Structure 1
C-alpha cells in the first residue's frame, strides 16, 4: 500500500479545492472522486492527482477506488436537498458505504466532514442528517479503521457561498436588508460537557472559520494518529452577529446597509418562497438551521496546534472594492464555477 495516497470524496467542492492543493503541496498522491468531473477542472493542474467520475452510492466502485489508499476523506455535503439528491443519501448513506468500503479495501484512516450544530435531534433536516451521519461513523467504525470527524462553522474564503452571497444581496438591496432569519437562537447551556438546559438568545450568532484553516485541520489529522476517535469543532477567533457581518461586508463593498430580521411568520414565508427558486439561495430548512448558534464550545483548531485566521485578515482581499474584476468574480460564483 502506498502510504502517501489519499482519496477525497467531494474534492471538487469549495473545501476540497483548498484541501487538495494543500495535500498536493505536501507530496500526497490524490484520488478525487466526484459525480461530475467537469466540476473539478481546477484540480487537473495539480501533480499526482487523479480526477475520477464515479457513482458515489455504489459501494463496489468506492472499494475499487479506495484500494491502495492510506486514507479516505469524505467532504460530501449539500445545503439543500432535492428529490434526486436527498439529505439522507449524502449525509447518512454515503458515509456508511464509505466506511464499509474502507474496511473492504483495507484503508486504515477515515476523515469525516460533519457540521457545527449537527445533531440527530436538531431543528432542521440538514443538521439532523449531518448529526446522524457523524454519529454512525464515530460510534462503531469497522475494525482497523481509525476515524476523525470535523464540525466546521460556516466557512469563508475566496469564492465562498457565504460572504460572497451576502455581498450580492447587499448590492441588490436598498439601505435596509430584510433577511429571512430568526430573531433569536436556541442556545444550549453546558457545565463542562454536560448539558444544563436551553435558552433563547437574541440575534443570529456566527463564528466563521477560514477555509484554509479547515484544510489545515484535515491535513494535520492525517499526520497525527492521536486524533483518531475524536471530533473537532472548527471556528474562527471571533463571534459576530449577522447584523455586524452585514455592516462589515457593506463597508468592504462601499455600501451602507443594515440587516433587518423579519417577524417569524414572514421570515418563514420568505424562506419558503426562496426555496421554490431553481438552485435555491435559501430554504425553510436553512431557516430552521439558523435557529441554532453557529458558535464553538471548544475550538478544535487550537487543540490541533493551529491559530484561527481572522475574517478581517482575508475578506478584504476578495470582497474589497468594486469594478469589472469584482463583477466578473461575482458572476463566476453565481454561475457555480466555485462549487
Structure 2
C-alpha cells in the first residue's frame, strides 16, 4: 500500500483516480485548491505538503484564467515547483496529467502552459534530476461528472443535433475509467514510456460523439443542423468570457488543429487496448438522472436569467414605468397610504431590483431564491386584502405566484452545490 497525494483531487479526473486508488487499498489524500494551491504555494511550502507521500498525482488544471489562478501559474510554473518539491521531499514517482497537443509553442495558452511543464520535466531529466516521473497526455476525457461530458450530453439531448466544424476536425475521446486505471498501474510501479498519449482507439468528430451519447441516453435518433463556423466562434468567445465551462476559443482552435494520436503506448502501459467510447459507456448504462441532467443543462441558466429579469422588471415598473398613482391605488386597497405607502412601494421596488440583479450575476442564487420566496409570501399575505377581482381575474395576477414559486424552488434545487 502506498501513500498517494492527488493534487486537484476534487476535480472530475481527480475524483475518479482517487476512487480507483482507494479501491485498490492505497492511502489517498485528494487535495483541492485549499490544500495545495499550485498558483500560490512556493516550492518550500509544496515541499512540506508532499513530504511523506510515495506518489504524487497532479490533476490540477484550468480552462481559463481566473484572477491569480492563470494557466501559466497552474499548468506551467506551479507544476514546475511541484516537480522540484517532489525531488527534495524524496517522492518516489510523480504522475502529471497534461494534454494531447501540449507544446511550448502551441497555438493556445492551454497548450503552451501545459507544454512548458513537459519541457521542464524533460530538461530536468536530462540533467540527472532523480525523480521517476510520467506525463499522461489525454485527448477529450469522457465520463460522468466531466464538464466536457456534461456539455456534450446536453447537446446530445437537444431535439436537433448541432454539427460544428469540418469533418476533419477529429479527436480520440478516452473514457475516464481507462485513464484512472492507467494512473493506478503507474502508481503501483508499472513500467511505461515517460510520456503517454492517452487516447481512445477511434478518431471521431464532435457530432459522431454526440450521436453515441444520445444512443447511450436511450433517446431516439434525430436529425442534425450544420452550425456556421462564425456562429460557433461567437459562441466560444462568449463562453470563454462568461463561463468556466469547456466552450471557449481554445477548444475551437484545438479541434481545428486535430487531437489524435497512436494508442499503442497506452495499450502497452495498460496491458490491454483502450476501450472504445461505445464499449465503455455500455458498461455503465444511463439512468433517469442522466437523461434529466442532460435535458436540464441548458435550461438551468435560462430559468435563472428569466427569474432575474422578472424581478428586475418588477422593480423598474414599480419605480415609475407603471403609473405611480395606480400603484398607490393598489396600496390603498389594502389600507396603506401616505408615507407608509411610499415606503412600501419604493422599498419593495428596491428589494425586487436588488434581488434580480444579484440573481442575474449568480451571486449566491440559493439564498436569493429563498429571499424571493419570502418576498412573494409577504406580498401574497398583503394581497389577501385586495378586492376579489385580483384573485378571480382570468389572467390570475395573484394565482400566478404559485407556478413562479415552483420555478424558484426548481432553480434553488438546480443551483445548490
TM-score normalized by structure 2? 0.64
Q: CA deviation at 1:274?
A: 2.5
Asked whether 1:234 is paired with 2:198, we answer: yes
Shift of residue 97 of structure 1?
Answer: 0.8
Q: Which residue is 2:22 aligned to?
A: 24
Q: Rate the CA distance shift 1:295–1:178 in 2: closer, same or farther, 3 A.
A: closer
Structure 1 residues 277 and 26: alpha-carbon distance in aligned structure 2, compared to 1, 3 A threshold: same
User: What is the distance in 1 between the residues matched to 2:272 and 2:59?
Assistant: 20
Cα distance change on mapping 1:233 and 1:258 into 2, 3 Å: farther
Q: Which has the higher helix share?
A: 2
- Which residue does the alignment assign to 1:67? 51
- Counterparts of 2:86 and 2:268 in 1: how far apart (Å)? 27
Task: Indicate the SS of the match to 1:31.
Answer: strand
Distance 1:330 1:264 in 2: 25
Q: What secondary structure does 2:145 align onto?
A: coil
1:269-280 alignment runs, 5 A limit: 269-280=234-245
Root-mean-square deviation (CA), in Å?
2.9
Match of 2:132 in 1: 146
Correspondent of 1:113 among 97, 103, 117: 97
1:8 touches 1:32 (CA, 8 Å); kept in 2? yes
Gaps of 5+ in 2: 301-413
Match of 1:287 in 2: 252
Over residues 163-184 of structure 1, what are the superposed CA-to-partner deviations in whole Å (9 max), with x where a residue is unaligned? 331121243x4425254xx42x
Cα deviation digits, residues 7-46 of structure 1 (max 9, x gap): 111111111112112212222222222114xxxxxxxxxx
- Name the larger-Rg structure: 2
d(CA) in 2 for partners of 1:123 and 1:257?
A: 35
Q: Which has the higher contact order (CA 8 A, sep 6+)?
A: 1
Q: Distance in 2 between matches of 1:260 and 1:251?
A: 18
Q: Aligned ranges for residues 153-172 of structure 1 at < 5 Å?
A: 153-171=139-157
What are structure 1's unaligned runs of at least 5 residues? 37-52, 184-201
Match of 1:250 among 191, 214, 220: 214
Whole-angstrom distance in 1 between the partners of 2:254 and 2:56? 28
How many pairs does the alignment contain?
Answer: 297
CA distance in 2, matches of 1:337, 1:9: 25
Note the C-alpha offset of 1:243.
Answer: 2.2
Separation of aligned partners in 2, 1:337 and 1:128? 35
Q: For residues 221 and 259 of structure 1, do their structure 2 counterparts lie closer, same or farther at Cα, with a shift above 3 Å needed?
A: farther
The structure that is strand-richer by fraction is 1
Counterpart in 2 of 1:303?
Answer: 268
Counterparts of 2:232 and 2:134, CA distance in 1: 37
TM-score, normalised relative to structure 1: 0.77
SS at match of 1:147: strand
